[in-house]
Amino acid sequence: MKVGHDGKTYLLDGERFQVYGGTLQFFRVPRESWKERLERMKRHGLNTVDTYVAWNWHEPEKGKFDFTGETHPQRDLIGFLELADKVGLKVIIRPGPYICGEWRNGGIPEWLIDEHPEILAKGPNGPLPRDIYYPPITYLHPTYLKAVSEWYDEVLPIIRDYLYTNGGPIISVSIDDEPSYWETIFQPFLTDYNEVITRPGGLWEEWLRSNYSLDELSERYGTPISDYSEVYAPASENEPLPKILDWHHFKIWMTNRYVEILYGHLKRYIDVPISILDPYLLLAAWRHFYRYVKKRNLDIHLWTEFWYSFYRSFDLKEDRLGHIYYKTGVYRFYQRRLGTPPLSIETQVSLAHTIEPDEAEHLYSLIASLGIHNINYYLYVGGENPKGYESHNGVTWDVYSPIGLDGSERPHVEPIKWLGEFLLNNPDFGNAELRPRVAFGTYEPYEAVSTFGLRKGMTESVNLNEYLFGERGLLTLLAMSNVPFDVLDLEETSVEEMLSYGQLWVYSLDFMSREVQDKLVEFVARGGNLVILPMLPYLDENMKPYSALAEFLGVEVERAEARDNVRLIQFTSVESEGIDRMLVRNTVREVKGGEPFVFHYGRPVGTLVRKGKGSAIVLGFRLQYYNSYHDLHRKFVDKLLEMQNVKRDFEVTDRDMIAIPRGNYLVLLNPRGHRVFGKVRYRGIEVPQLLDGIEMEKRGALFLPFGVRVGDVEVVYATATLLSGDGKTLRFRNHLSGSSEVALRGVEEVKAIEGRIVDESFENGILRVVVEHDNEFELGL
């Protein structure tokens, strides 16, 4: 028996297995409820259950282990695995050592910390408060690594016995959980100043030696350095920015080295895929994980997650689109290079005051549409914390889970059920390539300076959440302008890959590495179309003068200071042909050179440059999402596409109807939630033809088939989601309208098993019918 994969889904003994699962943490659910909850999950259409194994729960005292429920029925790991197998669910298991999970110490035993406080990470001024949740530990401390090895040697033999390859249900084992230096990586000077890191000859010095010569360090940090021991770990913003970035990258390296050690332990016992969830809780930084595992030939499956609220109301409307498009784009970039199946292991279905079904459907449909069709919902089954093991949640571990602690079901079960039916019955959807015509180029150091808020004398604001990723950001504007986009890591991608897109967008701060600037020069020279804003870089990665891109383009952008104080940021407007007074925020910079086409009170602030075989649009302002009656920002995006001759793969007559093309499917979304109504053109077909348009009365998604074969019948198109078909019947869903149109080839008549046919035509071998229905309808062939 074998667990393999084809890069898109898993293969069990060669048979395709698309993960559609939910998390049930057996140690938080009463033992007598396990069977009923697992069976309910299966009835909801799930095929996999995910669970942690908490180290401190199974080894409450040093050397005393319980995996059979001898000391507490909810410690019966073996019984849970056997029950899942009996119910017919596959298992993803996550044995830590750290599990996060809003669980005491993230699973690290109290006795270990008490006995060896030296393993705790330190701040620049000494130990951190002992009572914080998830007290961070120095990953590479030898005492901690020894304890982890002993834990693994106890739990992994049990897991091995229940691997799929040994006749059991486990198809993947995960390493740790969101290492991220235990969520302190977002604050550059919070951790880690443990002696094993900062002492002479310690890990920091080791990393410096392996990455830079002394001359390179002197150049990079702007001061003579004669010995590596002179380079102390930075502890404040007063240090040079390149040194602070190196400190950040050093902590990422420690995480990578730690993961490699855990992987080595797992490989001694595990012969199913080994996976990890989001190693840093960052996005662009995934490049460091990719480079590390490829260089060392570590076969680790990179998984991701989607959370958009935490102990507050779920909020998933149009202003989240930019971040979702970006996150899935970065993930696709590296997942394709790793060649492993895309999977969201923690797709939020809990930890919110309420989760509205339409907003849940919006999120789940989006991530599936954007290339992640293996989905696990977290936390699917609610529970409660055993006394003494709670973290920042008290007794409860049921915060609006689809299945509550008392067995009740919440309303967002419905979209989970129908989306699973669609995904599992339409494998061609998951196999279809998502191939946008536009790409966004990300530059990893910008993520760090934005996360830290380190402007360090730069003229441009580093508040990228406001101007790029957030609710009003550029990426939300692109998504809401019906511009699906890939994401390219500008340091990792090749010019050839960049040239495969019709347009490349880049958001620039004051600095950009020489390598990346030179790459953008070559991209334009060889025929690429670049859009860059709100400035051009004039410094390199060492903050030394370098402006190769600006010099090549022959463009000069004014170095005016952007403002950060929210109350002092100005609102103003710019104009272009057909664009009258489009709102922009913050400093607008004059742009000299090229062919000006955007103006700010008469000054040129946007220009088109034709260089070599390509072109570049340079904007001296931030382009954001502001919806209004005049809709100028989306019209301006259309203008930029037209200027560089970039055409969409589809057309919609109602621009609030957002489309994502996926091969023989066109996904339609209504992210704004008001009624939208219009026609679409895709693959040369305008639909509908009998109805006046496609109606979406509320927020939600439709997965429209175009040329999908079911047995001898071709679904030429439908304005409803094709849930399933067996050659005798076709089952559809459209909960956003009471009428749908279906066009079929290979059949001359159909009957409505559910619903009512109210109009039909037969022309050129295509039967078209209009069906009035409730949420779902079925046609007999």
Q: How far apart are CA 63 and CA 154, in angstroms?
A: 10
Catalytic-role residue among 59, 178, 444, 541: 178
What does the pLDDT read at residue 312?
A: 87
Whether residue 346 lies in the annotated active site = yes
Residue 324 has pLDDT above 90, yes or no: yes
CATH of 438-644, one of 3.40.50.1000, 3.10.580.10, 3.40.50.880, 3.40.50.720: 3.40.50.880
Measure CA of the first residue to CA of the last residue in the chain; give whole Å.
Answer: 39
Residue with tokens 């009003």: 472
Q: Give me the mean pLDDT over the 450-456 stretch.
A: 95
What does the pLDDT read at residue 87?
A: 98
The residues that bridge with 425 in the sheet, in sequence order, are none
Q: Give me the mean pLDDT over the 130-149 stretch.
A: 95
Residue 393 has pLDDT above 90, yes or no: no
At 445, list the tokens.
């150091």
Share of the chain above pLDDT 70, in %: 100
What does the pLDDT read at residue 315?
A: 86
What does the pLDDT read at residue 228?
A: 97
Q: How confident is the model at residue 387 (pLDDT cuts 50, 70, 90)?
A: very high
Average pLDDT, the chain: 97
What does the pLDDT read at residue 360?
A: 97
Q: Give me the mean pLDDT over the 327-335 stretch.
A: 97
Helices vs strands, H then E, count in the chain: 21, 43
What does the pLDDT read at residue 181?
A: 80
Considering only CA atoms, give the Rg of the chain.
27
Condensed to tens digits (0 to 9), the pLDDT of residues 341-357 reads: 999 999 999 999 999 99
Q: What is the DSSP letter of 315?
A: -
Condensed to tens digits (0 to 9), the pLDDT of residues 588-633 reads: 999 999 999 999 999 999 999 999 999 999 999 999 999 999 999 9
For 75, the 3-state DSSP assignment is helix
Q: How far apart are CA 380 and CA 694, in angstroms?
A: 33
What does the pLDDT read at residue 662?
A: 97
Q: Which residues contact 514 (CB under 8 A, 6 or more apart)?
A: 540, 541, 546, 548
Nearest CA to 212 out of 175, 250, 239, 186 is that of 250
Catalytic-role residue among 59, 205, 318, 346: 346
Residue 738 has pLDDT above 80, yes or no: yes
Condensed to tens digits (0 to 9), the pLDDT of residues 696-714 reads: 999 999 999 999 999 999 9
Q: Helices marked H in 276-320 — which ranges?
A: 286-295
Q: How confident is the model at residue 727 (pLDDT cuts 50, 70, 90)?
A: confident
Condensed to tens digits (0 to 9), the pLDDT of residues 421-438 reads: 999 999 999 999 899 999
Do 326 and 475 form a contact (C-beta atoms < 8 A)? yes
CATH 2.102.20.10 fits 650-780, yes or no: yes
Q: How far apart are CA 146 and CA 430, in angstroms?
A: 42
Which class for 197: exposed (0-12), middle (13-18), buried (19 or more C-beta within 10 A)?
buried
Q: How confident is the model at residue 323 (pLDDT cuts 50, 70, 90)?
A: very high
Do 272 and 329 form a contact (C-beta atoms < 8 A)? no
- The sign of the CA dihedral 230, 231, 237, 242 is positive
Q: Which residues contact 467 (CB under 8 A, 6 or more apart)?
A: 461, 473, 474, 507, 534, 586, 622, 624
What does the pLDDT read at residue 397?
A: 93
Condensed to tens digits (0 to 9), the pLDDT of residues 640-680 reads: 999 999 999 999 999 999 999 999 999 999 999 999 999 99
CATH fold for the domain made of 3-110+170-179+273-431: TIM Barrel (3.20.20)
Whether residue 36 lies in the annotated active site = no
Which class for 28: exposed (0-12), middle (13-18), buried (19 or more C-beta within 10 A)?
buried
Domain ranges of the chain: 3-110+170-179+273-431, 438-644, 650-780
Q: Is the pTM of this model over 0.85?
A: yes
At 126, list the tokens.
């000494």
Residue 716 has pLDDT above 80, yes or no: yes
What does the pLDDT read at residue 304?
A: 98
Peptide bond into 704 cis (omega under 30): no
What does the pLDDT read at residue 718?
A: 98
Condensed to tens digits (0 to 9), the pLDDT of residues 534-573 reads: 999 999 999 999 999 999 999 999 999 999 999 999 999 9
Virtual torsion, Cα 423, 429, 431, 437, nearest 10 deg: -130
Q: How far apart are CA 546 and CA 158, in angstroms?
A: 57
At 405, list the tokens.
């602690």
Virtual torsion, Cα 336, 339, 342, 345, nearest 10 deg: -130
